[in-house]
Amino acid sequence: MISHLAVFRWHDDVDPADVERLCAALATLPAQIPELASYRFGPDLGLRAGNADFGVLAQLPDAAAVATYLDHPAHQDVVRTFTSVMVAQRATVQFVSG
Amino acid sequence: MISHLAVFRWHDDVDPADVERLCAALATLPAQIPELASYRFGPDLGLRAGNADFGVLAQLPDAAAVATYLDHPAHQDVVRTFTSVMVAQRATVQFVSG
């Protein structure tokens, strides 16, 4: 299994309503992208100073499934509509996790 | 459950042997920190240009467990010995994931 982690820091003008719309869009992806073995996301809880604003955790069976997810039209639509506009800083990684 | 995601980009002088030593140290944490419901980590697979270098995924039952993990002497030892030296850029987030 491969864990895909994405950590975002928002632009200053992003508000909770934007984040809610993003979450609603992300929630539609598992049904459209069956390669997603698990898909979790959410706003930072504010437990530690210096944290970023939002995290996405996708579990996928292999590298091909990672590519399918990242390049999927539904995912690209979310990137185009939301994250490419909202995200000031992004950090992503994929590693073998089991 | 809370997902703690940490994504690291290394300094230029970090080599694979450093990463192996870090992984060996991280692997000792679950036995020392029972709050860790799940603990996965590893180097980026190089599937996408622009990715960071390393990811850590910890699943913890609640905010108190997140604090116990982050402040635990064994975790602090890894931070002091490895990541504070190796990491050029870090992005961390904790969000509710189930």
Q: Is the pLDDT of residue B68 over 90?
A: yes
Nearest-5° Cα angle at A89, B1 to A4: 45
- Nearest CA of chain B to the CA of A37: how many Å? 14
Inter-residue contact A93 to B54 (CB < 8 Å): yes
How confident is the model over B22-67, as pLDDT tens digits?
999 999 999 999 999 999 999 999 999 999 999 999 999 999 999 9
Cβ atoms of residues A33 and A75 within 8 Å: yes
Residues of A in contact with B43 (CB under 8 A): 95
Give me the CATH number covering residue B40. 3.30.70.100
| pLDDT tens digits for range A38-51 | 999 999 999 999 99
Chain A residue at shortest CA distance from B65: A47
Task: Tell me if B45 sits within 8 A of A96, measured CB to CB.
Answer: yes
Q: What is the pLDDT of residues A53-97, one digit of tens each?
A: 999 999 999 999 999 999 999 999 999 999 999 999 999 999 999
Residue position matching structure tokens 């990811």: B55
Q: What is the ipTM of this complex?
A: 0.96
Q: Which domain holds residue A22?
A: 2-96
* Number of domains forming the structure of chain A: 1
